[in-house]
């Protein structure tokens, strides 16, 4: 019996040390650098983080527009250049006053519920033209240029992390669930979600100011996009309502109300990963930095009906994200393609099945050179049986 208990304890300890863990978000990690900063009291500029103190009319609290709430430590935060990137005191909760369209049948949500502050606040980037030039002439709100944010992962492991997931909360709780007015027939958002997010990782980043898209120290690992459904369709103009902004599509409301794989309503568990857009990452070990790039601006700018309607406002120049998390998993031996800790027939089959495929992050690309070939096969064969 004693041996059995000791064995269980050892197994529990091993599981605890090898289980996936958050290495950015949940109070871990920090903003390293951005190419778009907000300066209090100064005119806004292209690629600048949007204004960072607005007051919500319902809660009468001050919230900010800072680079995606991954950090919850108290105090003022600075990036690698010494620039102020906002207050990290995201402790506590915010009461959401549910919009009528969700409180009424068929949804029947409670009148109010609690969400963590870091999900309620917005991280908005000023990515698009504001609708008029210096002479007051109308413009088409075209993209100014890609915005990028670099994050430094939890530094408790100096060797870096085996990154297995990058998650982005790419919609605004305040707008979709909390804000309403007599002229809005359903929830709406006036700071649009990204159209696309490209994600990069790096083991080393000697130049914090470098663009991860062109710096060879950074590796592109994948894309989240509205086009392929990995980013939610948050903003969509409905000509039947005559409203100025894009509104929350019915499918989005139904998803938040439980029409999802977990049959979960948002108010029941606001931080569940089902509400995040998740990129699965493979084969990226010893990672110390993660960057997200917004190359196409927001969903409003990419909505031809909304642009053609000429019913857009200045706030539509902002691209909104709220939270970013990075999940690390057990490293496993080299050649462990499927991440189960054992190099065996399963890993061999993955390489053989994908043999000849190319592309960043393609499955079976063990050495990360962008092609599944003999080199990857040799890595698996050389390490066959390791970890088993």
Please state, in angstroms and rounded to a whole number, the distance separating the CA atoms of residues 31 and 19.
25
% of the chain surpassing 70 pLDDT: 68
pLDDT grade for 17, boundaries at 50, 70 and 90: very low
By CB atoms closer than 10 A (0-12, 13-18, 19+), residue 369 is exposed
β 161-169/112-116 pair status: unpaired
Q: Provide the 10 A C-beta neighbour count for residue 131.
A: 17
Q: Is the pLDDT score of 238 beyond 70?
A: yes
Q: Is the pLDDT score of 55 beyond 50?
A: yes
| Average pLDDT of the chain to the nearest whole number | 77
Of 386, 349, 387, give the one whose Cα is nearest residue 376. 349
Phi, psi angles (nearest 5°) of residue 238: -115, 105
pTM, whole model, 2 decimals? 0.77
Query: What are the Cα distances from residue 330, in Å, to 41, 104, 238, 286?
Result: 46, 45, 46, 11
What is the reported pLDDT for 308? 66
More reliable by pLDDT, 52 or 356 = 356
Residues facing 294 on adjacent strands: 147
Query: What are the Cα distances from residue 122, in Å, to 86, 171, 273, 301?
Result: 12, 9, 18, 19
Angle of CA points 93, 99, 104, to nearest 5° = 125
**For 50-71, what is the mean pLDDT?**
57
Q: Following DSSP, what letter does each residue of 103-162 receive, concatenated?
A: HSTTT---SEEEEEHHHHSBEEEE-B--SB-TTS-B----B---EEEEEE--TT-TT-EE
Q: Provide the 10 A C-beta neighbour count for residue 273.
A: 14
Full set of structural domains in the chain with CATH: 20-328 (no CATH), 332-388 (1.10.1330.10)
- Which of 139-143, 227-231, 340-344 has the highest mean predicted lDDT (pLDDT)? 227-231
What is the reported pLDDT for 5? 30
Query: What are the Cα distances from residue 83, in Å, to 34, 118, 258, 338?
Result: 9, 21, 41, 40
């Amino acid at each position: 019996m004693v041996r059995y208990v000791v064995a269980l304890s050892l197994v529990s300890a091993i599981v605890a040390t090898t289980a996936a863990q958050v290495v950015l978000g949940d109070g871990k990690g920090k903003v390293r650098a951005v190419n778009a900063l907000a300066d209090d009291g100064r005119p806004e500029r292209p690629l600048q983080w949007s204004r960072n103190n607005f007051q919500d009319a319902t809660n009468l609290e001050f919230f900010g527009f800072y680079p995606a709430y991954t950090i919850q430590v108290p105090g003022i935060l600075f990036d690698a250049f010494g620039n102020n990137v906002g207050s990290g005191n995201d402790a506590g909760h915010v009461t959401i006053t549910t919009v009528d369209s969700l409180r009424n049948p068929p949804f029947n949500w409670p009148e109010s519920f609690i969400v963590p502050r870091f999900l309620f606040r917005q991280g908005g980037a000023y990515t698009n033209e504001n609708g008029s030039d210096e002479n007051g002439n109308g413009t088409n709100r075209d993209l100014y240029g890609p915005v990028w944010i670099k994050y430094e992962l939890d530094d408790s492991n100096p060797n870096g992390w085996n990154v297995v997931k990058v998650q982005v909360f790419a919609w605004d709780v305040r707008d979709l669930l909390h804000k309403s007015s007599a002229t809005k027939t359903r929830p709406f958002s006036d700071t649009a979600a990204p159209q696309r997010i490209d994600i990069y990782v790096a083991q080393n980043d000697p130049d914090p100011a470098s663009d991860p898209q062109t710096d060879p120290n950074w590796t592109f690992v994948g894309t989240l996009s509205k086009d392929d459904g990995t980013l939610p369709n948050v903003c969509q103009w409905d000509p039947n309502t005559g409203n100025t902004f894009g509104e929350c599509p019915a499918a989005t409301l139904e998803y938040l109300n439980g029409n999802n794989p977990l049959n979960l309503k948002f108010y029941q568990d606001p931080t569940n990963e089902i509400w995040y857009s998740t990129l699965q990452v493979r084969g990226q070990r010893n990672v110390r930095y993660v960057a997200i790039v917004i190359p196409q601006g927001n969903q409003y700018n990419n909505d031809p009906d909304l642009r053609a309607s000429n019913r857009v406002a200045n706030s539509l120049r902002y691209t909104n994200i709220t939270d970013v998390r990075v999940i690390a998993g057990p490293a496993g031996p080299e050649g462990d393609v499927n991440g189960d800790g054992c190099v065996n027939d399963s890993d061999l089959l993955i390489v053989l099945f994908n043999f000849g495929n190319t592309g960043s992050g393609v499955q079976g690309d063990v050495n990360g050179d962008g092609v599944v070939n003999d080199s990857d096969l040799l890595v698996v064969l050389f390490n066959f049986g390791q970890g088993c």
